Amino acid sequence: MKKLINDPADVISDALHGFAAAHPELRVDFENRVVVRGDAPVRGKVGLVSGGGSGHEPLHGGFVGPGMLDAACAGEVFTSPVPDQMVAATRAVDGGAGVLHIVKNYTGDIMNFELAAELVAAEQGTEVVSVVVDDDVAVQDSLYTAGRRGVGATVLVEKIAGAAAEQGRPLAGVADVARKVNSSARSMGLALTSCTVPAAGRPTFDLPGDEMEVGIGIHGEPGRRRVPVAPAHEIAEMLVSPILTDLDFTGGDGVIAFVNGMGATPLIELYVMFHEVAQLLAKNGITVARSLVGPYITSLDMAGCSVTLLKADEELLRLWDAPVSTPALRRGV
């Protein structure tokens, strides 16, 4: 295993300290492993909390800041944070207007966020609403999930619901927007290589040098099938086609097209993929209204990419375009 780390047991603590040093405008609660917006709680604003296993950076801590999340909990690598972390995060961002939990659909995350919401409601009377993200069309159930996995759409939910909260919408309204993004978005991913979990010290799965895994999950969970390595235009077809089969993306005000890097794939390859995706969309009569290209929801050092499409309307585009100021996503200059 070749990684820029110290003891594998210290990776998350070390990274959080580095994150805090690099982003002094945010607060980091090291004991609870929670990243909090510097001016939280913002009085009268709905607080947005997300979190999940580490290893998907910049998700979620890199999306904390004005216009996006108020707090993010970092679990162990690929492991849900515990309820105590979520309770600490929820308390830290409760500005009196309620708190939205944005939860990727994995069994552990769902259970722990539910428990945390109950605890905070009982102890403090904080109103908490949860929205579950389950946009992955690759598999119906998986290693860690009943139903579809939450993947790339999480980034779009956090950005767009974050903008709605920043505008002062009430909790029910912010939750509605988050659900609308999730229900209008679909994703599919592909791995060229496995990732290596630091504590394990070896690749999570074996993938021969001439094969790729189509429909991979962000923790290395099995996808749909293994196929021989193929050119980018065929890969784009393998990812876009199941997405378009699952939801009609024509009409409306076009799509937000998101080509995401899995962690070890350089930007030049993501732009090659974006070119292929954009051509396929054009061929299918779908307009690209906005785009996002880069490593935003990763899987440690996995090579590969995912495609997320969000069917947009004027409201979603306006919220997408709204100012945001986080370590990983800034807009509105």
Task: Using CB under 8 A, pick the residue from 21, 31, 206, 283 that binds a second copy.
Answer: 21
For the beta carbon of residue 89, count every other beta carbon within 10 angstroms. Answer: 33
Which of these segments, 26-34, 138-146, 148-156, 325-333, binds a second copy (CB under 8 A)? 325-333
Smallest separation, CB 39 to a second copy (Å): 14
Angstrom distances, CA of residue 265 to CA of 187, 199, 303: 18, 22, 5
Pair of tokens at residue 287: 């307009």
Binding track, positions 291-320, relative to a second copy; x by CB under 8 A: xxx-x--x-xx-xxx---------------
Q: Is 30 in the site for a second copy (CB under 8 A)?
A: no
Which of these segments, 39-47, 112-120, 175-183, 268-276, binds a second copy (CB under 8 A)? 268-276
Q: Is 288 in the site for a second copy (CB under 8 A)?
A: yes
Q: Based on C-alpha coordinates, what's the Rg of the chain? A: 19
Q: By C-alpha distance, which of 19, 88, 27 is closest to 58?
A: 19
User: Which letter does DSSP use for residue 25 in this model?
Assistant: T
Number of residues that bind a second copy (CB under 8 A): 66
Strand-strand pairing, 185-191 and 128-133? unpaired
Q: Is 227 in the site for a second copy (CB under 8 A)?
A: no
Smallest separation, CB 301 to a second copy (Å): 5
Amino acid at 235: I
Pair of tokens at residue 74: 């970092």
Q: By C-alpha distance, which of 74, 72, 66 is closest to 42?
A: 66
Of the CA atoms within 13 Å of residue 289, those in its CB half-sphere come to 20
Name the H helices within the chain.
11-22, 83-93, 107-124, 153-166, 171-183, 232-246, 267-283, 314-321
Catalytic residue among 23, 101, 219, 275: 219
Ranges within 174-193 binding a second copy (CB under 8 A): 192-193
Q: Is 51 in the site for a second copy (CB under 8 A)?
A: no
Measured distance CA(312)–CA(248) in Å, rounded: 12
Nearer to a second copy, 99 or 259 (CB): 259
User: Can you give the length of the chain in residues?
Assistant: 333
Q: Is 19 in the site for a second copy (CB under 8 A)?
A: yes
Catalytic residue among 23, 56, 60, 101: 56
Task: Using CB under 8 A, pick the residue from 71, 178, 270, 307 that binds a second copy.
Answer: 270
Nearer to a second copy, 113 or 258 (CB): 258
| Catalytic status, residue 60 | no
Q: Is 3 in the site for a second copy (CB under 8 A)?
A: yes
Q: Is 11 in the site for a second copy (CB under 8 A)?
A: yes
Nearer to a second copy, 173 or 294 (CB): 294
Measured distance CA(282)–CA(20) in Å, rounded: 42
Task: Using CB under 8 A, pick the residue from 5, 111, 143, 172 that binds a second copy.
Answer: 5
Handedness of CA 294, 296, 301, 305 (dihedral sign): negative
| Catalytic status, residue 23 | no
Q: Is 155 in the site for a second copy (CB under 8 A)?
A: no
Task: Using CB under 8 A, pick the residue from 121, 129, 227, 272 that binds a second copy.
Answer: 272
Angstrom distances, CA of residue 197 to CA of 16, 143, 149, 174, 295: 17, 16, 20, 35, 18
Q: Which residues bind a second copy (CB under 8 A)?
A: 2-7, 11-12, 14-19, 21-23, 54-55, 57-58, 62, 66-67, 192-193, 209, 212, 229, 231-233, 235, 263-276, 278, 288, 291-293, 295, 298, 300-301, 303-305, 323-325, 330-333
Residues with a catalytic annotation lie at: 56, 219
